[in-house]
């Protein structure tokens, strides 16, 4: 395995030329250079390929025995651009052969236990640098040679963990997580991205120390959650968060779903249903298009996860013993916005995810084409640009084991899609607006700018949703008739 493990990158001529040229620059100055981190791990797993999506831009991280001032001097000679914004932490970045590289001097940091910010001290050995990293599978280094004969260094047996698909820490997990509690959430992220499990001692430490995640800022937590949510199996990472208690501190609405029995009775609880809907939505992402931006995928996946988050707060039982969750979508949208705001998500993402949660039950009023064209217009208008994600969530939300019911729901979704297409062919559904604009309203009704114009515009929009497009004369007549009754 050691002889062939680097073939995934070695076969990429551009990357190999970059590694060799960079190594030559350091070796010629009497220093050693090592490629470290996720790129080494992913190459060993066969994930660092042009079509893997693992590292789209092939950004590379290195460590070296050279001190930061020496690293800067070397890069100034050979790189296109050099920036030293991280130099106080021993990191110098550069654009080299069109790739972004980050080179960090060996570290031997000490932590104060109050934050995740270490007291930076530089080390003298590769082993000392690797032992301070988060997991052993990320503590494998590739020593670079000027002749291209690079050699793997694995003093902590990270290759064994890669082969076993296990996450374990170089040092005792209690010490590792005390130094940086974010590593616990990172374990959940790697479970999502790589499908790895965690060693028993790591799981125990995560469970015992879950409350330490409170030392991490909301922004850093959100960044890890996003990486987790965009992984191949986000439901795996989320389940690990819940089982270890991390979710109680960063996403408490998720474990709260375990308290609620699903009204369909096909799952043990709404928690399992929500993870299944997330899984379904992830598998249906292809319906959004060939190349879906990460932001659109994040919105879809978060909405799928949170769609039933309002059920615990709306649970009621009927006289017959049945359970109901009336208006859980309204409560859930509010809870979703509140949680994402606490995590300091961008305002647009908060609005979009909350709106999808709010709208996810709207489809269930549709059946056998019973909606009028007006109702279809309103559905499309309310969803706006989120319509593709909403239709994916509607499909993903069908987790019933009743094949007849599942087939009926699938037919209804397809029928609604067909009706939306038909209406789009007849009128511009994506830009539903009144047939008269504000200036025309003021001219026709002889009004100055003010609230009355907005009220008239809102009336015309409602009329447009109900009737569809009208010609100008008809719109003017309806506007005057409405104004005369005010």
Average pLDDT over residues 444-465: 76
Whole-Å CA distances, 106 to 90, 309, 370, 455: 8, 45, 68, 67
What span, in angstroms and rounded, lies between the C-alpha atoms of 17 and 60?
Answer: 13
Q: Look at 399 and 296; give whichever has higher pLDDT.
A: 296
* Listed range (20-29, 69-78, 213-222, 312-321) with the worst mean pLDDT: 312-321
What are the start and end residues of each CATH 1.10.110.30 domain in the chain?
165-251
Quick one: pLDDT at residue 55? Answer: 38
CATH 1.10.10 fits 276-431, yes or no: no
User: Taking a C-beta distance cutoff of 8 angstroms, is the pair 388, 302 a contact?
Assistant: no
Whole-Å CA distances, 169 to 63, 194, 206, 454: 19, 16, 12, 62
CATH of the structural domain 7-164, one choice from 3.30.590.10, 3.30.565.10, 3.30.460.10, 3.40.350.10: 3.30.460.10
Task: Quickly state the pLDDT bin for 330 (edges 50, 70, 90).
Answer: very high
Task: Quickly state the pLDDT bin for 263 (edges 50, 70, 90).
Answer: low
Average pLDDT over residues 407-417: 85
What span, in angstroms and rounded, lies between the C-alpha atoms of 118 and 180?
Answer: 9
* Listed range (47-56, 235-244, 299-308, 404-413) with the worst mean pLDDT: 47-56
Q: Of how many residues is the chain composed?
A: 486
Residues of the chain above pLDDT 70, percent: 86
What are the start and end residues of each CATH 3.30.460.10 domain in the chain?
7-164
User: Taking a C-beta distance cutoff of 8 angstroms, is the pair 474, 434 a contact?
Assistant: no
Quick one: pLDDT at residue 49? Answer: 46
Task: Quickly state the pLDDT bin for 34 (edges 50, 70, 90).
Answer: very high
Q: Where are the alpha helices (DSSP H) in 126-172?
A: 126-130, 158-164
Average pLDDT over residues 188-211: 97
Average pLDDT over residues 98-125: 77
* Listed range (7-11, 150-154, 170-174) with the worst mean pLDDT: 7-11
The pLDDT mean for the chain works out to 85
What are the start and end residues of each CATH 1.10.3210 domain in the chain?
276-431
Residue 322 has pLDDT above 50, yes or no: yes
Query: Under CATH, what is the fold of the domain 165-251?
Result: Hydrophobic Seed Protein (1.10.110)
Quick one: pLDDT at residue 48? Answer: 61
Task: Quickly state the pLDDT bin for 339 (edges 50, 70, 90).
Answer: very high
Those residues whose C-beta lies under 8 Å from the C-beta of residue 374, and which sit 6 or more positions away, are: 465, 466, 467, 468
SS3 111: strand
The b/e string for 93-113 (b: 16+ C-beta within 10 A; e otherwise) is: bbebbebebebbbbbebeeee
């Amino acid at each position: 395995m050691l002889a062939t493990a680097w073939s995934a990158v070695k076969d990429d001529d551009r990357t190999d030329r970059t590694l060799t040229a960079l190594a030559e620059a350091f070796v010629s100055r009497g220093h050693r250079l090592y490629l470290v981190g996720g790129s080494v791990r992913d190459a060993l797993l066969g994930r660092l390929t042009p079509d893997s999506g693992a590292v789209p831009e092939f950004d590379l991280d290195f460590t070296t025995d050279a001190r930061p001032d020496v690293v800067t001097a070397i890069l100034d000679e050979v790189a296109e651009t050099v920036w030293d914004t991280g130099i106080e932490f021993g990191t110098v970045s550069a654009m080299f052969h069109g790739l972004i590289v980050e080179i960090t001097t060996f570290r031997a940091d000490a932590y104060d236990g109050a934050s995740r910010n270490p007291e930076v001290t530089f080390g003298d050995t590769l082993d000392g640098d690797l032992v301070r990293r988060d997991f052993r599978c990320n503590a494998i280094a590739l020593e670079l040679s000027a002749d291209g004969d690079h050699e793997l260094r694995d003093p902590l047996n990270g290759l064994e963990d890669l082969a076993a698909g296990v996450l374990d820490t170089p040092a005792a997990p209690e010490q590792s997580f005390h130094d940086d509690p974010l590593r616990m959430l990172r374990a959940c992220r790697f479970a999502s991205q790589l499908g790895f499990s965690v060693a028993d001692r790591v799981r125990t430490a995560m469970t015992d120390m879950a409350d330490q995640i409170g030392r991490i800022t909301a922004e850093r937590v959100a960044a890890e959650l996003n990486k987790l949510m965009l992984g191949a199996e986000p439901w795996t990472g989320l389940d690990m968060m819940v089982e270890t208690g991390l979710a109680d501190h960063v996403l408490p609405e998720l474990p709260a779903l375990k308290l609620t029995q699903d009204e369909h009775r096909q799952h043990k609880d709404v928690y399992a249903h929500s993870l299944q809907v997330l899984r379904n939505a992830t598998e249906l992402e292809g319906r959004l298009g060939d190349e879906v931006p990460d932001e659109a995928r994040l919105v879809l996946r978060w909405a799928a996860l949170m769609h039933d988050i309002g059920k615990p707060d709306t649970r009621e039982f009927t006289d017959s013993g049945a359970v109901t969750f009336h208006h859980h979508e309204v409560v859930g949208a509010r809870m979703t916005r509140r949680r994402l705001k606490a995590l300091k998500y961008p305002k647009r993402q908060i609005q979009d995810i909350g709106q999808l949660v709010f709208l996810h039950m709207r489809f269930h009023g549709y059946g056998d084409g019973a909606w009028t064209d007006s109702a279809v217009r309103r559905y499309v208008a309310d969803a706006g640009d989120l319509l593709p994600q909403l239709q994916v969530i509607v499909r993903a939300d069908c987790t019933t084991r009743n094949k007849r019911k599942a087939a009926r729901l699938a037919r209804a979704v397809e029928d609604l899609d067909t009706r939306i297409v038909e209406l789009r062919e007849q009128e511009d559904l994506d830009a539903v607006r009144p047939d008269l604009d504000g200036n025309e309203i003021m001219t026709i009704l002889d009004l100055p700018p003010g609230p009355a114009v907005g009220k008239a515009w809102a009336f015309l929009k409602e009329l447009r949703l109900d009737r569809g497009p009208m010609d100008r004369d008809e719109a003017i007549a309806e506007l005057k008739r409405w104004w005369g009754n005010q």
